[in-house]
């Protein structure tokens, strides 16, 4: 990318310091997004916050650090499924939530758990990034294509279906030869049921293993496009906010500021396809904004200074600042909506209970009068 003149640099410069929020806004934001947290935990955090300096005195770096640290993995929402698949997905989640070791597991539960353990073990044993990618294709993506959720119209889809049928045949043959190692099948469990429960978890595991085990590999960037190539229904079965977030992180890790426009396109796609922006989405945006502030000041050396001060990168960072506002607004709207829904449910329960009490009281009066 070309270097700009000082005039171009000034024109593309960003008011990053002006992107901070006021203490009052942050306090309101925290109330919205921490309503369900433990009271004691909230008290401890409030006590720590009181000992710190006001945010206006901290500067953007400290605020961004605090914002990123406050994003906990445990706050990650469950994968978002489209409306048509939500009943099945919720059934699978409920089954996982209610299952306990002391309870007798159904064969369906066992089949789901066995699939999860088997493919996770295969991925963990992959020796190279190519091995890991092949395991993903062979045991998951081809299998999703074979479900028939979308018609196999392309040569790639047809090849995926054929490849999985061949694997399935070999697995059945192996099961017949070693019945002792195969679970007794009391009832057939469809791959759709198993993959509805496990696919999103498998894909997330792949996106976690790639950067941690093979940090120089770019194969993780192929997952989202390959899943899309299987068809819209197959994509909806495996896609989630977390998968989008992992894809954007991989883009930024691989290409740095050159990926900002592609990340903005991915955020637009998430918004269009109604995948929720969550804590991980916000954390990535805060990280990019913080890097821009640091490197545009020359803290990373002349190379990064030049890279982050190009006109194209300047436009990309401005886009990230705009998306940060959008993401925070969307999350705030979601929190307000959930709060109103919970309040409406409480009011309905109160009215229902009050109505019953009034009915009983009136019944008592009628009996007494009689």
The answer to whether the CB of 195 falls within 8 A of the CB of 147 is: yes
Rounded (5°) CA angle 105-192-125: 75
Please report the DSSP string for 327-363 in residue order.
Answer: HHHHHHHHHHHHHHHHHHHHHHHHHHHHHHHHHHHHH
Are residue 159 and residue 230 in the same domain, yes or no? yes
User: What is the pLDDT, as a whole number, of residue 248?
Assistant: 98
Which residue is associated with the tokens 């489209």? 82
Considering the domain architecture, whether residues 105 and 192 belong to the same structural domain is answered as yes
The answer to whether residues 207 and 244 belong to one domain is: no
pTM, full prediction: 0.67
Q: Confidence class of residue 185 from pLDDT cuts 50, 70 and 90? A: very low
Contacts of 120 by beta carbon, 8 Å cutoff, 6+ apart: 202, 205
pLDDT at 88 over 90: no
Taking CA 199 as the corner, what is the angle to CA 269 and CA 276, rounded to the nearest 5 degrees? 30
Tens of pLDDT, residue by residue over 243-265, are: 999 999 999 999 999 999 999 99
Structural domain ending residue among the three candidates 238, 268, 289: 238
* Residue pLDDT, tens place only, 116-136: 999 999 999 999 999 999 999
270/351 same-domain check: yes
Same domain? For 67 and 92 the reply is no
pLDDT reported for residue 187: 53
> Is 213 found in the same domain as 127?
yes
| Choice between 241 and 367, residue whose per-residue pLDDT is larger | 241
pLDDT at 34: 52
For residue 125, what are the domain limits? 81-238
Average pLDDT for the chain: 78
Do 201 and 167 have their domain in common? yes
pLDDT at 174: 78
For residue 231, which of 163, 138, 157, 143 has the smallest C-alpha distance? 157
C-alpha distance from residue 343 to each of 209, 334, 346 (Å): 41, 14, 5
Residue 16 has pLDDT above 60, yes or no: no
- Name 185's Cβ contacts closer than 8 Å, sequence gap at least 6: 107
Residue 121 has a pLDDT of: 96
pLDDT at 81: 59
Of residues 320 and 58, the one with the higher pLDDT is 320
> Residue 347's pLDDT band (boundaries 50, 70, 90)?
confident
Residues 253-282: what's their mean pLDDT?
Answer: 95
By the 8 A CB rule, do 268 and 67 touch?
no
266 shares a domain with 357: yes
**Residue 226: pLDDT band with limits 50, 70, 90:** very high
Identify the pLDDT of residue 11: 42
Same domain as 143, residue 59: no
Residues 232 and 101 in one domain: yes
Are 251 and 279 part of one and the same domain? yes
Domain boundary among 217, 238, 259: 238
- Is residue 277 scored above 90 in pLDDT? yes
CB 165 within 8 A of CB 152: no
Which residue, of 238, 272, 300, is where some domain finishes? 238
Query: Is the domain of 2 the same as that of 110?
Result: no
What's residue 182's pLDDT? 54
Distance CA 336, CA 202 (A): 32
What is the number of structural domains in the chain?
Answer: 2
* Rounded distance between C-alpha atoms, residue 150 and residue 134, angstroms: 22
């Amino acid at each position: 990318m070309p270097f700009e003149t000082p005039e171009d640099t000034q024109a593309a410069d960003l008011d990053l310091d002006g992107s901070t929020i006021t203490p009052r806004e942050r306090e309101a934001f925290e109330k919205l997004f921490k309503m369900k947290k433990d009271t004691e935990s909230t008290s401890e955090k409030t006590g720590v916050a009181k000992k710190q300096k006001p945010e206006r005195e901290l500067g953007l770096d400290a605020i961004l650090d605090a914002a990123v640290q406050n994003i906990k993995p445990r706050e990650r929402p469950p994968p978002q499924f489209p409306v048509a698949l939500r009943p099945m997905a919720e059934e699978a989640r409920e089954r996982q939530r209610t299952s306990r070791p002391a309870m007798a597991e159904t064969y369906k539960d066992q089949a789901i758990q066995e699939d999860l353990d088997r493919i996770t073990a295969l991925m963990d044993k992959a020796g190279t990034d190519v091995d890991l990618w092949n395991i993903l294709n062979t045991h998951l993506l081809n299998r999703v294509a074979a479900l028939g959720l979308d018609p196999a119209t392309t040569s790639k889809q047809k090849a995926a279906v054929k490849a999985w049928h061949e694997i399935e045949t070999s697995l059945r043959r192996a099961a017949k030869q070693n019945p002792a190692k195969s679970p007794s099948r009391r009832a057939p469990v469809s791959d759709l049921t198993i993959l509805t429960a496990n696919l999103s978890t498998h894909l997330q595991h792949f996106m976690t293993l790639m950067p941690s085990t093979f940090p120089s590999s770019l194969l993780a960037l192929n997952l989202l496009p390959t899943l899309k190539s299987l068809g819209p229904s197959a994509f909806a079965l495996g896609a989630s906010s977390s998968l989008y977030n992992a894809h954007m992180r991989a883009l930024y890790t691989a290409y740095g500021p050159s990926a900002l426009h592609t990340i903005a396109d991915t955020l637009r796609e998430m918004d269009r396809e109604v995948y929720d922006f969550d804590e991980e989405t916000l954390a990535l945006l805060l990280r990019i904004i913080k890097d821009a502030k640091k490197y545009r000041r020359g803290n990373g050396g002349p190379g990064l200074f030049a890279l982050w001060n190009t006109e194209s990168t300047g436009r990309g960072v401005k886009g990230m600042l705009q998306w940060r506002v959008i993401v925070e607004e969307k999350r705030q709207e979601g929190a307000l909506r959930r709060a109103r829904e919970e309040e409406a449910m409480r009011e309905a329960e109160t009215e229902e209970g009050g109505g019953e009490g009034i009915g009983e009281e009136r019944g008592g009066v009628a009996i007494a009068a009689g």
